[in-house]
Every structure is written in structure tokens, then in C-alpha cells.
């Protein structure tokens, strides 16, 4: 049903998630990231509450493994959940419950963790972490997206994917990148790539408009001077 990667950029401290699935609006439920704290993917039979709860545990000072153990201890319905976590130091952890759907797998890499369910094959997550590790010079959003594309090329899901999302947190409390393809009948990951290619050249302009509007470039709308 879903495959994803959480990752950290050691150079910039950025944290983020790239994810795709066969169901609608994956970006509304599954990826979570918080500046200076960590990133989380919650998937399979998704409980969106687990993202903020895990980020709160990380923000309290726990590392990725300790935070995951804290949140999963005694929690109901975890047999249906798949979770991945990366913290601000690049430490990772994951949970895969016993009722995860179909063929599933996980792969840990440096500063990243990939996982999936209802996969075409168990090698998909390893292809994703290999891609992430091989693109260390790129912006984190691009590294995560390349990893998602590598997972798709390695077989991806057993069926078609219809939604995809890319989320990156940096310095501000709001996301630096929050791009979503909520539904498409064809090539959700390709549509996400096209969104990123349109957004990347404007990304810093939108950041400037938020933190220092007097220094922002023109808006390119009627009445703008």
C-alpha cells in the first residue's frame, strides 16, 4: 500500500519524508517533520496521531529508538502500524507490526530509513536507502525524491500508486517544502517530481516573504509594483 523514506541532511540539519501510496491524499496522513527535532512516517493502516506523538517524544530529548519504544509501549493496535523515525542527529528506528499488509520490508542507511508494505518485492527499501546515500550533495528534498524514484524503479508497490508527498523541515516552525499529489491515475511520483522542479526555484523567495517581506522579490501579480 505504501513505501517511504525518512531522512536527515547532516550538512544543513534539514529533516524530511518522501512517501507514495495507492490510496488518496497520503500527504495529509502519513509524513511528519519538525525543525530541529526529527521526521516520522506512519503508514500501512495509518494512525496519523503517531506522527506528532513521536515528534513530541523526540523533542523531549529522547533519541529515535528511545522515542519509538516510549510511544509503542502498551499502545493499542500497533500490530497494524508501520513506523519509521529519524532524529536530529541522524539516528533511526522503525516498527513493523505483525499484521502489516502483503510483502513488506525495511532498510536502514546513514541518516535515513526506508520501509514499505504491499511491495512488489522486499528489495524496494534497500534501493531507496542506497539512492539516498549516493546523493549526499543534493538538497534534502531532492535526495528524498530520488530515493522515492529509486524505490519505484526497483518495483515499488504491487499495484499502482496514486498519491505522493514530499515534506522537509529546516529552521522555521513551518515546512520549507510541503508538496503533495493527492490523486492521479498516472505516475504520482512523476507528478511530485514536476511539482518540485517548479517549486525549487521559488522556494527561497517564499521563505523570504514569510520572514522578511520588505526584502522579498516581486510577487508577479496584478497591482504588484
User: Cβ distance 38 to 58 under 8 Å?
Assistant: yes
pLDDT in tens, the chain (225 residues): 799 999 999 999 999 999 999 999 999 999 999 999 999 999 999 999 999 999 999 999 999 999 999 999 999 999 999 999 999 999 999 999 999 999 999 999 999 999 999 999 999 999 999 999 999 999 999 999 999 999 999 999 999 999 999 999 999 999 999 999 999 999 999 999 999 999 999 999 999 999 999 998 887 778 775
519524508: which residue's cell?
17
Which pTM was predicted?
Answer: 0.97
Give the total residue count for the chain: 225
User: E strands, the chain, where?
Assistant: 2-8, 15-21, 31-34, 38-44, 81-87, 92-96, 105-109, 112-117, 163-169, 177-181
Amino acid at each position: 500500500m505504501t513505501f517511504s523514506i525518512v531522512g536527515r541532511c547532516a550538512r544543513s540539519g534539514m529533516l524530511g519524508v518522501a512517501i507514495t501510496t495507492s490510496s488518496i491524499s497520503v500527504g495529509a496522513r502519513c509524513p511528519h517533520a519538525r525543525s530541529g527535532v526529527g521526521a516520522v512516517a506512519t503508514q500501512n493502516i495509518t494512525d496519523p496521531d503517531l506522527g506528532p506523538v513521536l515528534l513530541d517524544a523526540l523533542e523531549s530529548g529522547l533519541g529515535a529508538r528511545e522515542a519509538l519504544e516510549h510511544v509503542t509501549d502498551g499502545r493499542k493496535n500497533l500490530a497494524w502500524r508501520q513506523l519509521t523515525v529519524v532524529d536530529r542527529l541522524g539516528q533511526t528506528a522503525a516498527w513493523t507490526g505483525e499484521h502489516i499488509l502483503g510483502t513488506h520490508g525495511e532498510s536502514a542507511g546513514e541518516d535515513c530509513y526506508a520501509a514499505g508494505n504491499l511491495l512488489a518485492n522486499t528489495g524496494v527499501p534497500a534501493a531507496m536507502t542506497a539512492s539516498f546515500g549516493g546523493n549526499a550533495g543534493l538538497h534534502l528534498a531532492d535526495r528524498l525524491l530520488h530515493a522515492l524514484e529509486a524505490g519505484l524503479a526497483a518495483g515499488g508497490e504491487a499495484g499502482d500508486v496514486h498519491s505522493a508527498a514530499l515534506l522537509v523541515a529546516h529552521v522555521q516552525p513551518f515546512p520549507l517544502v510541503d508538496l503533495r499529489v493527492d490523486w492521479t491515475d498516472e505516475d504520482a511520483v512523476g507528478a511530485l517530481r514536476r511539482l518540485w522542479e517548479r517549486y525549487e526555484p521559488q522556494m527561497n523567495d517564499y521563505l523570504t516573504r514569510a520572514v522578511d517581506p520588505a526584502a522579498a522579490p516581486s510577487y508577479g501579480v496584478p497591482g504588484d509594483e
